Amino acid sequence: MELDYLMTVILSSLSSASILLIATIGLAVVYGLMGVINLAHGEFLMVGAYSALTATQIGIPYPLAIPFAIMVTMLIGAIVECLIIRKLYGRIFDTMLATWGLGMVFNQGAVLLFGTVSPGIGMPQYSLTIGQYSLAIYPLIMIAVAILMLAFVYFLMTKTVYGMKARASIQAPQMAQAIGIESSNVNTLTFAIGCGLAGFAGAILLPIIPATPSMGLFFAVKGFLTVVVAGPVALTGSAVTALGLGGGSSITASFLTSVVGDVFFFLMTALLLWLYPLGISSKWRRKL
């Protein structure tokens, strides 16, 4: 029976870590490939959630609502890049301030459009029974979703011409231009992809985390810290960090309380940043 309990703790912790990772990948892509910290990332997630919710409300089945949410967020992301981010490259604090402000606008926009309370959509009511414990299936599926999402982004960034251009543009920006890479187009696409990943996260997590205008904040803080702790090898670094910090805080929370779980998260973050000021991956020899 103790073993059963341990199993459920491990599975649900893995699932929380996966949810954190799903919510963070877009942020990691934008930071890792553009050097921009998008503090409106959480709000893009919220936009994705509301897009999916609205789509289901007008009768589009949920599986189709997800690509719809991705399209909406990618489009908004591309517009934001062209109008705001593009003018602020290399000015990391200015971009943070600008995206933070943008997040507020989105947040208030959502309040005006949808009000502060919105109906959730039902979670598929399947569950997994381990001994006397029972776990909802949907959050467990998120483990697979996180793995697929990582694999997709890794493939996109390492095996495609676009991915090579995007990595070249962040690693030696002037040189990338000098060999013929139109970095501004690449950056627009990268930012749009980052926002699209946030939109996907908002939509896929909708059954677990209902859409509210301020839902972005919850992810913004932890996602931001995950990406900063991860460092320059953004994707692998974020996966490891999300697993360690997210999983660790979830395990702590299940044995103690959720407050202690959060304390674990923030203390570990502080400790890791003290040990690795440039991120845990600063010395890794990896592509992404």
Partner 1 sequence: MFKIENATGGYGKTTIIRNISMEINQGEIVALLGRNGVGKSTLMKYITGLIPAAGGQVLIEGKPAPTAPAKRAKMGLGYVPQGRFVFPRMTVIENIAVAAAANGHDAKQAIDRSLEDFPILVQKANDLAGGLSGGQQQILALARALATQPQVLLLDEPTEGVQPSIIDEMSGILKRINKELGIAIVIAEQNLDFCLSIAERAYIMEKGSIRIEIDREKLRADKHLQQELLGV
Chain residues binding partner 1 by CB under 8 A are: 161, 164-165, 167-168, 171-172, 174-183, 232-233, 285-288
Strand, coil or helix: what is 58?
A: coil
Nearer to partner 1, 28 or 203 (CB): 28
Is there a contact between 161 and 37 (Cβ–Cβ < 8 Å)?
A: no
Which lies closer to partner 1 via its Cβ, residue 3 or residue 178?
178
As measured in angstroms, the least distance from the Cβ of 232 to partner 1 is 8
Return the closest-CA partner of residue 39 out of 109, 96, 105. 96
Q: How far is the CB of 129 from partner 1 (least distance, A)?
A: 45
User: How many other β-carbons are positioned within 10 Å of the β-carbon of residue 150?
Assistant: 20
Query: Smallest distance from the beta carbon of 76 to partner 1, in angstroms?
Result: 26
Nearest-approach distance from CB 167 to partner 1, in angstroms: 6
Nearer to partner 1 by Cβ, of 112 and 285: the residue is 285
Residue 287: closest CA among 168, 186, 195, 191: 168
Q: Which CB sits closer to partner 1, 116 or 174?
A: 174
Q: Please state, in angstroms and rounded to a whole number, the distance separating the CA atoms of residues 286 and 210.
A: 36
DSSP structural state of residue 39:
T
Are 245 and 236 a contacting pair, CB within 8 Å? no
